[in-house]
Amino acid sequence: MAQPYSPHFLCDQAQRTQATRSFIYNQVRWDAAPLTLDLGCGSGAITSELTARTHHTTAIGIDINPLLLSSAIQNKSHPAVHYLLADATAMPFRSNLFSFILDHFTLMWIQRYQHALEESYRVLHTGGKFASIEPDYSGRIEAPLIPSNTSSPIPPIIKYLTTVGAHPYLGSQLPRALDQAGYKGICFGVLAWEYCKQAAQQEIRGEANLLTAHKLPWELPHFTFTPIFWVLGNRP
Ligand SMILES: C[S@@+](CC[C@H](N)C(=O)[O-])C[C@H]1O[C@@H](n2cnc3c(N)ncnc32)[C@H](O)[C@@H]1O
């Protein structure tokens, strides 16, 4: 599947979800010496955060994109962070290993994301936690609104994601997907959103670059809003 993100894009994106990640980290109680996993770590924009809860935590980031992974390795600044080229749907780990797994904008790019959820369940140890942060473009707002009398009122970014085989509506589907994979104690939500001009412009620029590269015309909006779901589940 064509995956368009650069390390720069991922870094900007990670900044925009900082509040959601802090919220997740505060919900999760980790073991004394946990092993954590960043599922689809890309260029490692957030992997080192998964070591921050205790002095004894080790974080492993896996990704299938060798270019992004090499950028992660080159920028590695934390001794307890390790990176591995691996597929989230068939992980090279024994079962019952990890205390915490974070998916941040990865599952939406995996065609068989249910397999990745089941694999994550397998490698989590009993009582381990799985957390997902994924957008859902069904709640997308663009202002000014796309006129309903245009032949196609679907926002171009959704057309783009669908064309490249991503799952633009994954956020709200995840609670059920976790349930089907066997997770328990599932809770989820969307954090309140506050407009920030700089972040909004950054996001619009990033999306405009993507759409231009794919020759999808887009009349630049003043702002866009895409709900970001957080979902948490336990491995019983
Ligand atoms: C939008 S990026 C998010 C990267 C990172 N989680 C972040 O937030 O910075 C999606 C990542 O998922 C990775 N990915 C896609 N399919 C994957 C798979 N089957 N196994 C592992 N990683 C995968 C991509 O290579 C890419 O790095």
Element housing 199 (H / E): helix 197-213
19 lies in a domain?
Answer: yes
Its domain, for residue 176, covers 7-136+165-193
Query: Could you read off the pLDDT of 118-136 as tens digits, one per residue?
Result: 999 999 999 999 999 999 9
**CB distance 64 to ligand 1 below 6 Å:** yes
For the segment 37-52, the average pLDDT, to the nearest whole number, is 95
> What's the structural domain count of the chain?
1
Describe the strand order of the beta sheet including 58-63 as a list of residue ranges.
81-85, 58-63, 35-39, 98-104, 124-135, 228-234, 184-190
Q: Which of 1-10, 13-22, 203-212 shows the lowest per-residue confidence on average (mean pLDDT)?
A: 1-10
Q: Is 67 a residue whose pLDDT tops 80?
A: yes
pTM of the model: 0.95
Percentage of residues of the chain with pLDDT beyond 70: 94
Closest ligand 1 atom to Cα of 65: 25
Asked whether residue 59 is assigned to any structural domain, the reply reads yes
Evaluate whether residue 36 is within a structural domain. Answer: yes
Closest ligand 1 atom, residue 69 Cα: 27
pLDDT over 80 (residue 102): yes
> Does some domain include residue 106?
yes
Tell me if 155 is assigned to some domain: no
Domain contains 217: no
> Which CATH number is 96's domain given?
3.40.50.150
pLDDT tens figures, 203-226: 999 899 889 988 888 888 888 999
Residue 202 placed within a domain: no
